[in-house]
Amino acid sequence: MDTNASNSEGVEVPQVARAFDIRHISAEQLAELGVSRIAYVKPVEVDGKQGFAIHAANGAPVALTEDRDVAIAVIVQHEMLPALVH
């Protein structure tokens, strides 16, 4: 979340970041965290095989892997924060 903004003269002015309880996060709040900063891993079944789907914070599918650790590594490699969905 961006905690700074510029006023009409172009001077950077700090803003207060909004807080929320991560245990009760809504879809809108998750997307607000930044599609480019968070991705989540969700177990899925594809053609009868167990796999792990990687989704952007807004729910858009990004990738599919056979292994959860590989999915997490892919997310971290792209400088994103992984979140697991059970």
pLDDT tens digit string along 21-34? 667 777 777 666 66
For residues 37 and 80, the answer to whether their CB atoms sit within 8 Å is yes
Give the residues across from 44 on adjacent strands: 51
Give CA angle at 63 (60, 65), nearest 5°: 140
Domain-wise residue ranges, the chain: 25-84
pLDDT given at position 56: 87
Pairing of strands 81-84, 61-65: unpaired
Q: How confident is the model at residue 84 (pLDDT cuts 50, 70, 90)?
A: confident
As a whole number, the mean pLDDT across the chain is: 79
**55 CA to centre of own chain:** 8
CB 57 within 8 A of CB 33: yes
* pLDDT per position as a tens digit, 28-62: 776 666 667 888 899 999 999 999 999 987 788 99
Q: Is the pTM of this model over 0.95?
A: no
